[in-house]
Amino acid sequence: MASIRRATGTLLWLPLCLGLAGSGAPDTYIRTDEPGTTICAGVSDQEPSGRYDLHIRGGLVIDGSGSPARRVDILVRDDTIAWIGEEVPGDLDADRIIDASGMYVTPGFIDAHTHGDPFSTPDFENFLAMGVTTISLGQDGSSPGGADIDGWMRRVDELDLGLNIVLYVGHGTVRSLAGVELGRTATTSETEEMARLIGEAMDAGCFGLSTGLEYRPGWFAELNELVGIALPIAEYGGLVMSHVRNEDDDAIEASINELIAQGAGSGSAVHISHIKVVYGAGEGRAEEVLGFMEEGRRQGVKVTADIYPYLASYTGIGIVFPDWALAPNDYRSVVADRRAELAAYLRERVKKRNGPEATLFGSGRWSGRTLFEAAAELGKPFEDVLIDDIGPGGAGAAYFVMDAALQDRLLIDPSIMISTDGSPGMRHPRGYGAFARIIRKYVMEQGVVSLEEAVRKMSGLTAATIGLDRLERGLLKEGYAADILIFDPESVLDHATFEHPHRLATGFTHIIVNGRIVREYGEMTGEQSGRMLRRR
């Protein structure tokens, strides 16, 4: 049966898949340039021959395009899906046969927004355990390698990686390299130098540009600078991935519009990182935010977003301090000269963010405890704790500032994919549980998303958005990379909590990266077959 899915306010044409198992009709697909378009995998019209490394037999295959599951077999040779079909000859020669009967077989999940250091944790087991086989580093305007991104990638090539890595070049990083001081806008020549550095990073294989406009130094960038640095992204067909300037309810429209203006002025596709509305509430508000994105599409800008399935964000405690207390301003002078004003600001800001009980520290002296608990321990007002005992750079924290109805409506929108915004060491459960939580909560418990749609939002959609489809990744399709998961969705569980954020997810029986089984029945196999991927 043909399948058309509708996003809020616009039509996103997804695969029109014919020829489901047993129909005898060929598979076809429709592809457009709309955000989120993916391709049906289809089945082979050739008989398999020769020797294969893996034969995945008897599973229900969800190909990542959003099309219905089909009971077909998959053959893997080296790092590639060599054959997909319904009838495998009895004398087929395969080094390893995996009986996937009663299981689902899907593409490996792609995390649109992650943090981490492959030189510290090259296996990235926290991501692998929840089915993620590709992560996206260089986020929020900060990228590794400095001016030598190509050299950094080459060093990563030499590591034994557990999964695949894609990289973005950070606006804040190249801004510093171009010599733009904190506290001012960039000159025309400095913007041109940033664009040159970004072009070099794209030549090296980056997938796009990341910005962190809520942070230093991105905060100081004006629209002409943002347009200028996105010009090479448009030239290379990359993506501008942005932590927008302000996620508060009264500023989110302006922040999204600024990103759309960057895309319109440069010709680049744009993407909202970890979309949320702080202080906002209700499905109606979510519909309005989706409408802002749709208006950008009507202007001709490709606009997408990612989201994680939790109601608490996580970032440095500086997020609650006023701009005039942050660099390049001298914090000690601010405390000495404007302490009463600073205390009043912090008191109102934290109360607006659901109070000191809703700020849970993830680093520093009070890691694992709330601002309320820290103030009680010290016996003084929480604003004084922030001023005297922590400061704007003294801790990271989780902030319980989001509304479930609003965020859930955003999450199920067809143009929004899944991310963690997590890392191996962050004290937030999203880095260990987000993708498993999608299956457990939204598919199995609530039933608001089908398993096929959830898999699309965690694989094919992300691949098409960031450009991994050009590398033949993100779908179960002949000729595509063999990044494959085998699991029973009823067994998939996220165990990480805010109290215990580093508990691995369970339920994925086989996790295959580039044709090698890297994790099996909850244990790492010793195979390290991940790669540093470069944009084609």
pLDDT in tens, 298-323: 999 999 999 999 999 898 999 999 99
Going by the DSSP 8-state scheme, the letter that residue 518 receives in this structure is: E
Let me know if residue 44 belongs to a domain: no
pLDDT of residue 46: 76
pLDDT of residue 536: 84
Let me know if residue 394 belongs to a domain: yes
Do 201 and 144 touch, CB atoms closer than 8 A? no
* Residue showing tokens 């143009």: 415
pLDDT of residue 18: 30
463 with 440, same domain: the answer is yes
> Considering the entire predicted model, what is its pTM?
0.89
pLDDT of residue 358: 94
Q: For 228-237, what is the mean pLDDT?
A: 98
Q: For 199-218, what is the mean pLDDT?
A: 97
pLDDT of residue 480: 98
Q: Give dist(CA 259, CA 274) in Å, integer.
A: 14
pLDDT of residue 215: 94
Q: For 10-27, what is the mean pLDDT?
A: 32
Q: Give dist(CA 80, CA 97) in Å, integer.
A: 16
Q: Give dist(CA 70, CA 85) in Å, integer.
A: 10
295 with 318, same domain: the answer is no
pLDDT of residue 497: 94
| Least confident stretch, 19-28, 232-241, 487-496 | 19-28
From 375, 400, 425, the end of a domain falls on: 400
210 with 279, same domain: the answer is yes
pLDDT band at 47 (very low <50, low <70, confident <90, very high): confident
Let me know if residue 64 belongs to a domain: no
Q: For 259-264, what is the mean pLDDT?
A: 98
pLDDT band at 239 (very low <50, low <70, confident <90, very high): very high
116 with 215, same domain: the answer is yes
Residue 180 burial (C-beta neighbours within 10 Å; 0-12, 13-18, 19+): buried
Let me know if residue 257 belongs to a domain: yes
pLDDT of residue 15: 36
pLDDT of residue 40: 54
Let me know if residue 21 belongs to a domain: no
pLDDT band at 48 (very low <50, low <70, confident <90, very high): confident
pLDDT band at 37 (very low <50, low <70, confident <90, very high): very low
Q: Give dist(CA 3, CA 363) in Å, integer.
A: 47
321 with 378, same domain: the answer is yes
55 has which bridge partners? Answer: 75, 97
175 with 298, same domain: the answer is yes
Which secondary structure element, helix H or strand E, spans residue 156, and what is its range?
helix 149-157
Let me know if residue 99 belongs to a domain: no
164 with 257, same domain: the answer is yes
299 with 413, same domain: the answer is yes
pLDDT of residue 112: 98
410 with 395, same domain: the answer is no
Residue 222 is part of a domain; what is its CATH number?
3.20.20.140
292 with 434, same domain: the answer is yes
Average per-residue pLDDT for the chain: 91
**Residue among 140, 147, 145 nearest 115 (CA):** 140
Do 519 and 154 touch, CB atoms closer than 8 A? no
pLDDT over 90 at 221, yes or no: yes
pLDDT in tens, 144-197: 999 999 999 999 999 999 999 999 999 999 999 999 999 999 999 999 999 999
pLDDT of residue 523: 97
Residue 214: domain span: 109-306+405-471
Let me know if residue 87 belongs to a domain: no
Let me know if residue 427 belongs to a domain: yes
pLDDT of residue 20: 30
413 with 438, same domain: the answer is yes
From 454, 471, 488, the end of a domain falls on: 471
> How many domains does the chain fold into?
2
177 with 299, same domain: the answer is yes
pLDDT of residue 50: 86
From 442, 471, 500, the end of a domain falls on: 471
